[in-house]
Amino acid sequence: MTISKENFKKTFLEKLATMYGKSIEEASDIDKYMALASLVRDYINKKWVQTNKQYMESGEKEVYYFSLEFLLGKLLGSNLLNMQLTELCKEVLAELNIDINEIENLESDAGLGNGGLGRLAACFLDSLASLHLPGHGCGIRYKYGLFEQKIVDGYQVELPDNWLRDGNVWEIRKPDKAVEVKFGGNVKVDNVDGRLTFTHENYESVLAVPYDIPIAGYNNNTVNTLRLWSAEAAKKDFDFSSFSRGDYMKAVEYKYSVEAISQVLYPDDSYYENRVLRLKQQYFFVSAGLQSIVRRYKKKYKSFSHFSDKIAIHINDTHPTLAIPELMRILMDEEGMGWDDAWKITTNAISYTNHTIMSEALEKWPIETLRSLLPRIYMIIHEINERFCRELWNKYPGDWDRISRMAVIADGYVKMAHLAVVGSYSVNGVAKIHTRILKQEVMKDFHDFYPYKFNNKTNGITHRRWLLKANPLLSSLITDTIGPSWINHPWDLINLIKYADNSSFQDELAKVKLQNKSSLAKLIKDKYNLDIDIHSIFDVQVKRIHAYKRQLLNVFHIMDLYNRVRENPYLDITPRTFIFGGKAAPGYYLAKLTIKLINTLASVINNDKTIQDKIKVVFLENYSVSLAEMVFPASDVSEQISTASKEASGTGNMKFMMNGAVTIGTLDGANIEIKDEVGNDNIFIFGLTADEVLNFYHYGGYNAWDIYNSDSRVKTILNQLINGFLPNANDEFKNIFNYLLYNNDEFFVLKDFSAYVDTQNRLDHRFRNKSKWLTMGVHNIAHSGKFSSDGTINEYAVGIWKIKPVFISEE
Binding site for ligand PLP (CB under 6 A): 115-116, 119, 543-544, 623-625, 628, 650-652, 655
Minimum CB separation from ligand PLP for residue 639, in Å? 9
Of the listed 136, 143, 319, 355, which one is catalytic?
355
At 129, the amino acid letter reads A
Q: Which is nearer to ligand PLP, 280 or 655 (CB)?
A: 655
Distance CA 29, CA 35 (A): 10
Q: Which is nearer to ligand PLP, 169 or 625 (CB)?
A: 625
Of the listed 74, 376, 549, 616, which one is catalytic?
549
* Helix residue spans in 301-353 (DSSP H): 307-310, 323-329, 339-349
* HEC per residue, 507-536: HHHHHHHHHHHHHHHHHHHHHHCCCCCCCC
Cα–Cα nearest to 752, from 693, 799, 800, 808: 693
651 catalytic residue (yes or no): yes
- β-pairing verdict for 537-542 and 637-640: parallel
Of the listed 577, 600, 651, 759, which one is catalytic?
651
Minimum CB separation from ligand PLP for residue 150, in Å? 17
Distance CA 393, CA 387 (A): 10
Minimum CB separation from ligand PLP for residue 215, in Å? 18
Terminal-residue alpha carbon distance, the chain:
9
Q: Which is nearer to ligand PLP, 226 or 573 (CB)?
A: 226
Minimum CB separation from ligand PLP for residue 145, in Å? 12
User: Can you give the C-alpha Rg of the chain in angstroms?
Assistant: 27
Of the listed 543, 546, 576, 751, which one is catalytic?
543
Of the listed 364, 655, 751, 779, which one is catalytic?
655
Minimum CB separation from ligand PLP for residue 162, in Å? 19
Distance CA 556, CA 601 (A): 10
Distance CA 386, CA 636 (A): 55
Cα–Cα nearest to 426, from 451, 460, 401: 451
DSSP 8-state symbol, 713: H
Of the listed 9, 47, 74, 544, which one is catalytic?
544
The torsion region of residue 658 among left (phi > 0), alpha (psi -120 to 50) and beta comes to alpha
Minimum CB separation from ligand PLP for residue 645, in Å? 15
Minimum CB separation from ligand PLP for residue 116, in Å? 4
Question: Three-state DSSP class for 88?
Answer: helix
CA distances to 442, 470, 665 from 528, in Å: 44, 22, 29
Residue 217: is it exposed, middle or buried by C-beta count within 10 angstroms (0-12/13-18/19+)? buried
- β-pairing verdict for 637-640 and 662-665: parallel
Minimum CB separation from ligand PLP for residue 618, in Å? 17
Distance CA 388, CA 325 (A): 14
Distant-in-sequence, close-in-space partners of 465: CB < 8 Å, separation ≥ 6: 73, 78, 81, 123, 126, 629
* Helix residue spans in 568-669 (DSSP H): 589-606, 625-631, 652-658
Minimum CB separation from ligand PLP for residue 124, in Å? 13
Q: How many CB atoms lie within 10 A of CB 378?
A: 21
C-beta nearest to ligand PLP: residue = 652
Q: Which is nearer to ligand PLP, 279 or 641 (CB)?
A: 641
543 catalytic residue (yes or no): yes
Minimum CB separation from ligand PLP for residue 544, in Å? 6
646 catalytic residue (yes or no): no
Distant-in-sequence, close-in-space partners of 59: CB < 8 Å, separation ≥ 6: 300, 310
655 catalytic residue (yes or no): yes
Do residues 270 and 358 make contact, with C-beta atoms less than 8 angstroms apart?
yes
At 559, the amino acid letter reads M
User: Would you mind telling me the total number of residues written for the chain in this entry?
Assistant: 811
Do residues 261 and 207 make contact, with C-beta atoms less than 8 angstroms apart?
no
Minimum CB separation from ligand PLP for residue 457, in Å? 16
Do residues 12 and 92 make contact, with C-beta atoms less than 8 angstroms apart?
yes
CA distances to 469, 504, 507, 534, 638 from 511, in Å: 18, 11, 6, 11, 19
At 353, the amino acid letter reads T
Distance CA 324, CA 351 (A): 10
Cα–Cα nearest to 268, from 373, 160, 360: 360
Q: Which is nearer to ligand PLP, 149 or 351 (CB)?
A: 149
CA distances to 82, 542, 630, 777, 782 from 464, in Å: 8, 20, 15, 19, 15
DSSP 8-state symbol, 495: G
Ranges assigned E (strand) in 641-758: 662-665, 684-685
557 catalytic residue (yes or no): no
Q: Give the angle subtended at the CA of 606 by the CAs of 601 and 611, to the nearest 5°.
A: 105
- β-pairing verdict for 426-429 and 454-456: parallel
Distance CA 653, CA 641 (A): 10
Q: How many CB atoms lie within 10 A of CB 399?
A: 13
Q: Which is nearer to ligand PLP, 787 or 801 (CB)?
A: 787
Residues recognised as catalytic: 355, 543-544, 549, 651, 655
